[in-house]
Amino acid sequence: MSELDRREFLKIVGLSAGAAAAAGCSDPAEKLIPYVIQPETITPGISVDYASTCLECSSGCGLHVKTREGRPIKLEGNPEHPINRGRLCARGQASLGRTYHPDRIAGPATRSSDGTLQPISWDDAKGKLAAKLGSDAGKTWILGGPVGPSLDGLLDQIVAATGIAGRLTYEAFGDHALLDASQQLFGAYAAPIFDLSGADLVLDFGSDFLDTGRSPVEHARQLSEGRDVAAKADGGARVIAIGPRQNLTASNADLWVTIRPGSEGVLALALAQAVANARGNAVVAAAAAGASKNAAIEASGIDAALFDKLVGKLSSAARAVAFPPSVAAATTAGRSDAAAVLLLNAAVGAIGTTVRYPAVDAKRTASLADVKALVGKMNAGQVDCLLIHDLNPVYSLPASLGFKDALAKVGLVVAFAPLADETTEKANLLLPDHTPAESWGDASPRPGVRSLVQPTIRPLFDTQAMADTLLAAAQAVGGEAAAALPAGSWKSVLQANWSGTSWRHALARGGEFGETATRGVALVEGLGGVQASAPKLAGSGDFTLIAFPHSFHGDGRGAALPWMQEIPDPVTKISWNSWAELSHGKAAELGVTFGDVVTIATESGSIDVSVFPRGGIPDDVVALPIGQGHTVGHYASMAGDEQSQPGVARGVNLADVLPVATDEAGGQAFLSTKATVTKTGRFRRLALSQWTDNQRKRGLAPEVSLYDLASSGGQEAGGMAHFLAASPASAEEHAAEGGEHAEGGEHAEGGHHFSGPPFEYDPGNDADPDQPYRWGMTIDNDKCTGCSACIAACYVENNVSIVGEQQAIKHREMTWLRIERYVGDGDDDASLDSERRPIPRGERLGENKVRHLPMLCQHCGAAPCEAVCPVIATYHNDEGINGMVYNRCVGTRYCANNCTYKVRRFNYFDYGRKNWPGLLGLMLNPDVTVRGQGVMEKCSFCVQRIEAARQPVKDVGKPIPDGAVKTACQQSCPSDAISFGNVRDKASAPVKRAEAAKSRAYAALQVLNTRSAVTYLAKVRREES
């Protein structure tokens, strides 16, 4: 029967309607396409690591780039690399995002007269550049950021061959003052290498060496080793932070000396003199003859007793080291400040031990003074072509320098940046470079350490390595220029530079890591007295403006990376915007509170920014982070915000208010102006991730004094007893303090005085009895500096969504791991009644009671979340892990309410789909589910890494060896604060570590008996401040 009868018709209609409805409801279909010819090195599902180098800052940390199916998805530290030894900071973790960034420039383009970009071909682009180099080389300049030695050499060759007028290598946070001071004192134009291993006293004169300093990962690692209470009976190195603002280093210091801004040099010189006299070092004493204790006390505002205490500590220290000032403390007297600190190092005998000079001099780079000269030439019409690479001068140079206007007078502005920024907006010709993950290159953080950069993905866009572009253009000029240049590509140039080594071996290892060649230096003969002077401050406001580098933004480049916006600043816990720190007193005087917008005006300009009042800052100071205030960029500006506002700055750019001030060496003096602060009456809420820093005596982040630890009888204490016996004076001193303890003073919760039941359960019990594993973690709060590298690692490893400022304001951040920052155990509850957000109040000038508490899912044995889930979406697995079945979750959110640690995160929107714009989704870890809307998520103890470690041993029937599983947070931690492993194995790292430090081991909120799998080790207070 050929005709369609009624029943048949209805069947078909029904079927197709049903199919259409079903298809409409389901998620869009995506295809998995297998390799036609599978590459030899790639097994789908197995990651391949390549060694490379991090180029996010100039520290030069080694990387292992983890790739999956040809895509880099995660960066980890290279364990062989001498700088970072396998660790990586937050900025390094996030830097991979540049490759997949929505701001990527898709290909070469020219800017037409109406300002729009017209794509052109690479041949045309290089032709244009070659024509310019051919005709106007004498009026062509290269302005760029620091690059690796091979590229640097090649650029110099190109400059020489083509007759380019000049090349400036400029770094906003350059160390010109220190280099000059080294030249002046020791005749060595080189940046000293500060080595904290073995140091017993570390002074920081405002370089913030743990956070934004010269090599933070290296120094954090060295300090952590040097302060390991298990190994050092006396508690190891002491840290004294000197500076007006409580930065991350001051937060971790044993003693925070609050001084007037800019008085570092005067104080350091007086200390050098006193210490030299005490130690009988006549040479240094002579050099520091110009100093005076009274002048230093006067200038810095500290009292004489504190000065003497510092002298005493410095005089008795066996291996002391002092860090010279860096950005936040860079004054117009920067060179003499640095010289004074170097002299102090000489006075304590650090030169040659903890402070060593590399054998070769550093190359001179351009200072702000040189850039100023270039701007002069641009204004004078002497520059017709400016090539800009690895730098965003339109953003970062002080606005009053007039670079932007001068740029308009340059005929051809060529930008090589791979990501759109303020400078590419002004460029006429865009020749986008590869990102580091797509590039060849090298780095040499110090003589003897050479590190390779190798591409791990084929370029995603139509980009070309800057070196290749320039080389091709220069070769196209022809004639003598071409002849003087190396033939071939940039890669061949690089290979030629590494010709002395096994290329394959270097690629496999990540470079060549030899001994650092150093030289012995001594104070220059006939060194006149080092003079320290008060810095010049422009303007006449009531406040001194401190511009400090944001922990994650560097000179501003980090602001483009979403993780660096989303992860809260480790000190203030603010994300996504700028803030102005004022003291509580001054804020009250101005009638402003948290979030109120003030105008900060200097002679150079003014900015409007929300206030963050805090205790860790003096009354006459206003401090702002450098790095925000971009007008271009999906994340850096407000373009990618919920209310998308392209072209509107996110936060403020300090270049708008900083004057063009330089130190004696020409470097930019960031601490160089006074400012006025006036109330505007407006309010702009900031995303503050932590409500209060008062832990209300809940024992979340307790502290144990060295004395209590020594007398508690644990394994660590074995050494302690020895320490006590060795210093009877201090024992008596502590005994006196012990009397105070009995009175229930501020130490009441320290050590084994924890309130609540003793920590005596065994987390190993909370898993299936037949299973060999119970996964657990030990976190040493004494090592945690709060740097947040772990958070960044967790975001990248676990595909944790970025939610943006508006959602972060609503506390909807998705982070699986946060670092809580408690300041003491304050009793001040006044802030809690505030209608607006309360503000951390525990900070006091000169006091240092900061404790950091990394908080993640505790994988409780008696988890409150598991019992209340009506659908068993969260459950306890056989190996003790508190699992989440995302597909089963209906979103009642009961588990999050019942979670006592508040580590559960809910997908209020379809973050997983919406929040990976452009190609960012390519960076997702294929081993970890991307969570959908309406689903709860939280830390999984990196269960995918456990499974990855299980597979190889499962085949041979062996257990997972201890140390085979490293969680992302643990892997990244520069201070090695985290141990992870099987707590059923009594020989595993977390168990051994907790056992060894039993007297300071505790579980957070142990009074609730959640039987958590995370054992914390309490912070040790080494000094009574």
Partner 1 sequence: MAPPPATAVADAMNPPARPRDSQANIDIMAVTKGFHWPWLIALLFALAGVGLAAATLAWQTYEGLGVAGYQAPVFWGVYIITFVFWIGIGHAGTLISAILFLFRAKWRNAINRGAETMTVFAVLTAALFPLIHIGRLWKFYFLLPYPNQRYLWVNFKSPLLWDVFAVNTYLTISVLFFLVGLIPDIAIARDRAVGWKKVVYTILSAGWQGTGQQWKAHSRAVLHLSGLATPLVLSVHSIVSWDFAMSIVPGWHATIFAPYFVAGAIFGGFAMVVVVMVPVRRIFRLEPYITDYHFENMSRFILFTSLICGYAYGAEYFIAWYSAVEFEQTSFYQRAFGPYWFSTWCMIIFNVVMPQLLWIKKLRTNIPFLFVLCFFINLGMWFERYVIIITSLSREYIPAAWGLYIPSLVEMIVLTGSFCWFSMFFLLYLKMFPIIAISEVKELDIHARDHARDHAAHASGGAH
Q: What sign does the dihedral 167-172-175-177 (CA atoms) show?
A: positive
Measured from the CB atom, the residue of 579 and 822 that comes closer to partner 1 is: 822
Indicate whether 12 belongs to the interface with partner 1 (CB under 8 A): no
Indicate whether 251 belongs to the interface with partner 1 (CB under 8 A): no
Residue 837: closest CA among 611, 567, 641: 611
Minimum Å gap between C-beta 341 and partner 1 is: 36
**Two tokens, residue 674:** 């006074």
Residue 90: closest CA among 99, 71, 81, 77: 77
Residue pointed to by tokens 């020594």: 710
Strand order of the β-sheet with 978-982 is 978-982, 775-780, 1014-1017, 1001-1002
**What is the DSSP code (8-state) at residue 586?**
H
Among 59, 469, 807, 915, binds partner 1 (CB under 8 A): 807
Minimum Å gap between C-beta 838 and partner 1 is: 8
Of the candidate spans 194-202, 243-251, 828-836, 943-951, the one that interacts with partner 1 by CB under 8 A turns out to be 828-836
Indicate whether 810 belongs to the interface with partner 1 (CB under 8 A): yes
**Cβ neighbour number for residue 658 with a 10 Å cutoff:** 26
User: Rounded to whole angstroms, how far apart are CA atoms 846 and 617?
Assistant: 9
Residues 932-951, one symbol each (x = binds partner 1 by CB under 8 A, - = not), give -xx-----------------
User: Rounded to whole angstroms, how far apart are CA atoms 223 and 787?
Assistant: 13
Residue pointed to by tokens 């257990």: 959
Minimum Å gap between C-beta 918 and partner 1 is: 21
Q: What sign does the dihedral 271-277-279-285 (CA atoms) show?
A: positive
User: Rounded to whole angstroms, how far apart are CA atoms 284 and 347?
Assistant: 6
Of the candidate spans 106-114, 303-311, 466-474, 816-824, the one that interacts with partner 1 by CB under 8 A turns out to be 816-824
Indicate whether 722 belongs to the interface with partner 1 (CB under 8 A): no
Among 353, 599, 908, 917, binds partner 1 (CB under 8 A): 908
Minimum Å gap between C-beta 796 and partner 1 is: 22
Within residues 982-1021, the interface with partner 1 by CB under 8 A covers: 1005, 1008
Minimum Å gap between C-beta 698 and partner 1 is: 7
Of the candidate spans 34-42, 379-387, 886-894, 949-957, the one that interacts with partner 1 by CB under 8 A turns out to be 886-894
Indicate whether 964 belongs to the interface with partner 1 (CB under 8 A): no
Q: What amino acid occupies position 464?
A: Q
Indicate whether 605 belongs to the interface with partner 1 (CB under 8 A): no
Among 384, 664, 693, 985, binds partner 1 (CB under 8 A): 693
User: Rounded to whole angstroms, how far apart are CA atoms 887 and 864?
Assistant: 21
User: Rounded to whole angstroms, how far apart are CA atoms 253 and 1021?
Assistant: 10
CB-based contact 790:854 (threshold 8 Å): yes
Among 867, 947, 963, 986, binds partner 1 (CB under 8 A): 867
Of the candidate spans 76-84, 133-141, 216-224, 866-874, the one that interacts with partner 1 by CB under 8 A turns out to be 866-874
**Two tokens, residue 1019:** 């912070």
Indicate whether 892 belongs to the interface with partner 1 (CB under 8 A): yes
Measured from the CB atom, the residue of 799 and 815 that comes closer to partner 1 is: 815
Among 868, 919, 928, 964, binds partner 1 (CB under 8 A): 868
Measured from the CB atom, the residue of 483 and 832 that comes closer to partner 1 is: 832
**What is the DSSP code (8-state) at residue 529?**
P
User: Rounded to whole angstroms, how far apart are CA atoms 540 and 544?
Assistant: 9
Of the candidate spans 29-37, 281-289, 780-788, 815-823, the one that interacts with partner 1 by CB under 8 A turns out to be 815-823
Measured from the CB atom, the residue of 428 and 882 that comes closer to partner 1 is: 882
Residue 724: closest CA among 745, 712, 707, 749: 707
Indicate whether 905 belongs to the interface with partner 1 (CB under 8 A): yes
Q: Please report, in angstroms and rounded to a whole number, the separation of the first and last CA atoms in the chain.
A: 99
Among 402, 894, 950, 976, binds partner 1 (CB under 8 A): 894
Indicate whether 837 belongs to the interface with partner 1 (CB under 8 A): yes
Among 110, 463, 578, 694, binds partner 1 (CB under 8 A): 694
User: Rounded to whole angstroms, how far apart are CA atoms 928 and 917?
Assistant: 19
Q: What sign does the dihedral 427-429-433-435 (CA atoms) show?
A: positive
Measured from the CB atom, the residue of 725 and 867 that comes closer to partner 1 is: 867
Query: What angle do the packed helices 728-742 and 715-726 form, to 10 degrees?
Result: 120
Minimum Å gap between C-beta 567 and partner 1 is: 15
Measured from the CB atom, the residue of 169 and 781 that comes closer to partner 1 is: 781
Indicate whether 695 belongs to the interface with partner 1 (CB under 8 A): yes
Indicate whether 18 belongs to the interface with partner 1 (CB under 8 A): no
Measured from the CB atom, the residue of 364 and 888 that comes closer to partner 1 is: 888
Minimum Å gap between C-beta 894 and partner 1 is: 6
Residue pointed to by tokens 């009793």: 827
Measured from the CB atom, the residue of 761 and 886 that comes closer to partner 1 is: 886
Max Cα–Cα distance, the chain, nearest Å: 116
Of the candidate spans 319-327, 551-559, 646-654, 689-697, the one that interacts with partner 1 by CB under 8 A turns out to be 689-697
Question: How remote is the C-alpha of 811 from its chain's centroid?
Answer: 22
Q: How many residues belong to the chain?
A: 1025
Among 11, 505, 697, 954, binds partner 1 (CB under 8 A): 697
- Identify any residues that bridge with 1020 across adjacent strands, giving them in sequence order: 704
User: Rounded to whole angstroms, how far apart are CA atoms 591 and 574?
Assistant: 21
Indicate whether 685 belongs to the interface with partner 1 (CB under 8 A): no
Indicate whether 756 belongs to the interface with partner 1 (CB under 8 A): no
Among 305, 835, 956, 958, binds partner 1 (CB under 8 A): 835
Residue pointed to by tokens 């024509």: 131
Q: Where are the alpha helices (DSSP H) in 933-985?
A: 943-955, 968-972
Measured from the CB atom, the residue of 151 and 803 that comes closer to partner 1 is: 803
Of the candidate spans 423-431, 550-558, 788-796, 888-896, the one that interacts with partner 1 by CB under 8 A turns out to be 888-896
Of the candidate spans 229-237, 296-304, 684-692, 917-925, the one that interacts with partner 1 by CB under 8 A turns out to be 684-692
Minimum Å gap between C-beta 834 and partner 1 is: 7
Q: Please, what's the b/e burial string for 134-166 (b: 16 or more CB within 10 A of its CB; e: otherwise)?
A: bebbebbbbbbbbbbebbbebbebbbebbebbb
Among 901, 941, 980, 1002, binds partner 1 (CB under 8 A): 901
Measured from the CB atom, the residue of 536 and 810 that comes closer to partner 1 is: 810
Helix (H) or strand (E) holding 562: helix 562-566
Indicate whether 855 belongs to the interface with partner 1 (CB under 8 A): yes
# residues near partner 1 by CB under 8 A: 55
Of the candidate spans 223-231, 631-639, 766-774, 817-825, the one that interacts with partner 1 by CB under 8 A turns out to be 817-825
- Identify any residues that bridge with 51 across adjacent strands, giving them in sequence order: 64
Query: Distances from the Cα of 961 to the Cαs of 444, 947, 980, 986, in angstroms?
Result: 36, 13, 12, 12
DSSP 14-50: HHHHHHHHHHHHSPPP------SS--TT--TTS-EEE
Give strand ranges (E) for 173-296. Answer: 193-194, 201-204, 238-242, 255-257
Minimum Å gap between C-beta 1002 and partner 1 is: 15
Q: What amino acid occupies position 475?
A: Q
Residue 984: closest CA among 950, 1019, 1017, 959: 959
Measured from the CB atom, the residue of 171 and 820 that comes closer to partner 1 is: 820
Indicate whether 364 belongs to the interface with partner 1 (CB under 8 A): no
Indicate whether 23 belongs to the interface with partner 1 (CB under 8 A): no
Among 869, 943, 965, 968, binds partner 1 (CB under 8 A): 869
Q: Which residues bind partner 1 (CB under 8 A)?
A: 690-698, 700, 807, 810-813, 818, 820-822, 832-835, 837, 853, 855, 864, 867-872, 888, 890-894, 896-898, 900-902, 905-910, 933-934, 1005, 1008
